[in-house]
Structure 1
């Protein structure tokens, strides 16, 4: 899902009622519910789970494009789930969606810095034109990088905090970009253009220090700065998100399934038939997956025992 921009926020906006806790299937529990197009996930320093909500558009202006009729508004949000409740730490973020609030373009990913500050992708305005920006909480929303202001506008769909700043996946350029803490933008690698067409979706840092980038065409690339990308896995249906476990296994949201890619090349289906999954995070012996990522008001986050 193409979204643009990076912002961070920290003021409490509103609380939501706690979600249901009964397992929806053995080993699966709902930890957040009532979400608008939930996408990327990240854990904070106290174990709280940050959720990027794409929003559900709004009253307009509206326009017709290749996706049909869409309307803009400020319904995007960053929600936190933890300590037996869920609440929004930032709301009123730009969002574009169908009149029914589905298939939203808005905040698509969130990461948390070592200092505990959430940073997330978002549109800077309510319109469909690709624009981007990133800021930190302690900078009061000051933009650190604007990929949409470049000669070729970027389309950042994923973000990962690192010691040097942030890694950003640009779906428009199929590139992995580093944004320094002072806003310097540097392209680390561009994925080879192949058939089917490449569309980068996600990034995770591996136990070997390399970066692993997933793409919608069903491939995963291993990237070391200064070297050409090397294909790590192929033949998948479509990588939505990925995350490494402490044991060295790579977990992948592939289409509607959660897979485990073992160190010896094995592939195991952990959970199949997820409803429009949008994001993945690991903590302890559990995987957390956002579902119904194209739904307004009925999205959820599941905890899946590994």
Structure 2
């Protein structure tokens, strides 16, 4: 049980309800914060186009079904996922009708997870699932797009599948566990795309013609059992990937149950594909990014741990000497996405909230 509780289903475990999560306007906490976008359905990953236009993945609100079994009940499909464009103070949904899955009995959803833009204006989106990809056959054609990487040419509202992450999980199963996939973090590179599969505990590379390879696998590790007794295995749950100043790939982990405080690491992936802990001691990492000053910014979805019942997140700066500074915490309600641009951190706030999610800009200096 609780093999890979990724970002959506964790809110269920904490007992948080989206109907009671307080989303306090940014200016109630700091006059330096600014709301960039509002009225979003579970905003997740953020990506900037070269011209400064911001794109936001919205996981959606699920739908009436069909429904498929999930380790915590069942998830029901709806074409409510989207990508929102934020440009010159205006926001609009430029991609709609993307697959979204609501975990019944909760307000938790799986859907569009992260976005990335390349220099030619092509928009890439990871579509989450958080389940056995073999179950997609029970869904309509649009629902079967879950657990894939898609590409669109903005402003055209159409898209195509670049790579089927779910099919790769069934065929290769990099971590040799139960079939489970939830494509989350996305990084665009000159040679292709890199995807952090939070369900598959793997970092995947996508090359031309949708060819997928395993770049790294994140094995479970033993942690203290909160109920007492012997230590228990904890899944890694990699949620985010970025390129470091040294050219290496860096991956942040949410961790699986029991989500220990201080138990999340940022890993550096070496040339041999072996992940090594670069910086440890974080709690439930949901996103990471390097700033122009080579500092690492770490976004925690729950600063006090996902079992604390406290939805407060945190944005933490780690300078090149290893010094840590909490840039923001109060007012961040289960934040889920991070991007750095022009001296500001852009954060998806209340990333598990329907209709009231935000993107906020936080000055870094």
TM-score (norm 1): 0.86
Q: Which residue of 2 aligns with 1:278?
A: 336
Matching residue within 293, 297, 305 for 1:247: 293
Q: Which residue of 2 aligns with 1:203?
A: 241
Aligned length: 289
Matching residue within 187, 192, 198 for 1:165: 192
* Contact 2:196 2:203 survives alignment (8 Å): yes
Alignment of 1:95-174 (within 5 A): 95-98=100-103, 102-122=107-127, 127=139, 131-137=146-152, 141-150=159-168, 151=171, 152=173, 153=179, 154-174=181-201
Q: Which residue of 1 aligns with 2:81?
A: 76
As a proportion of its length, which structure holds more helix?
Answer: 2
2:248 is aligned with 1:216: no
**Deviation of 1:132 (Å):** 2.6
- Once residues 144 and 121 of structure 2 are traced to their aligned partners in structure 1, the CA distance between those partners, rounded to angstroms, is 31
**Deviation of 1:64 (Å):** 6.6
- Once residues 124 and 105 of structure 2 are traced to their aligned partners in structure 1, the CA distance between those partners, rounded to angstroms, is 28
**Deviation of 1:294 (Å):** 0.8
**Deviation of 1:98 (Å):** 4.5
**Deviation of 1:253 (Å):** 0.3
Q: Which residue of 1 aligns with 2:321?
A: 264
* Contact 1:57 1:101 survives alignment (8 Å): no
Worse overlay, 187-196 or 92-101: 92-101
> Per-residue displacement from partner, 1:188-221 (whole Å, max 9, x unpaired)?
1112431342111101100110011000131110
Q: Which residue of 2 aligns with 1:190?
A: 217
* Contact 1:48 1:80 survives alignment (8 Å): yes
**Deviation of 1:65 (Å):** 4.4
- Once residues 277 and 261 of structure 1 are traced to their aligned partners in structure 2, the CA distance between those partners, rounded to angstroms, is 18
- Once residues 250 and 53 of structure 2 are traced to their aligned partners in structure 1, the CA distance between those partners, rounded to angstroms, is 25
Matching residue within 49, 53, 59 for 2:54: 49
**3-state SS, counterpart of residue 97 of structure 1:** strand
* Contact 2:287 2:338 survives alignment (8 Å): yes
Q: Which residue of 1 aligns with 2:17?
A: none
2:357 is aligned with 1:299: yes
TM-score (norm 2): 0.73
2:36 is aligned with 1:31: yes
- Once residues 285 and 67 of structure 1 are traced to their aligned partners in structure 2, the CA distance between those partners, rounded to angstroms, is 41
**3-state SS, counterpart of residue 166 of structure 2:** helix
Q: 1:189 to 1:205 in 2, by over 3 A?
A: same
- Once residues 80 and 117 of structure 1 are traced to their aligned partners in structure 2, the CA distance between those partners, rounded to angstroms, is 13
Unaligned runs of 5+ in 1: 4-20
> Per-residue displacement from partner, 1:108-144 (whole Å, max 9, x unpaired)?
1111122121100115969598953234336963433
Q: 1:44 to 1:130 in 2, by over 3 A?
A: closer
- Once residues 105 and 274 of structure 2 are traced to their aligned partners in structure 1, the CA distance between those partners, rounded to angstroms, is 43
- Once residues 292 and 82 of structure 2 are traced to their aligned partners in structure 1, the CA distance between those partners, rounded to angstroms, is 30
Unaligned runs of 5+ in 2: 1-5, 9-24, 130-135, 174-178, 224-233, 256-263, 303-312
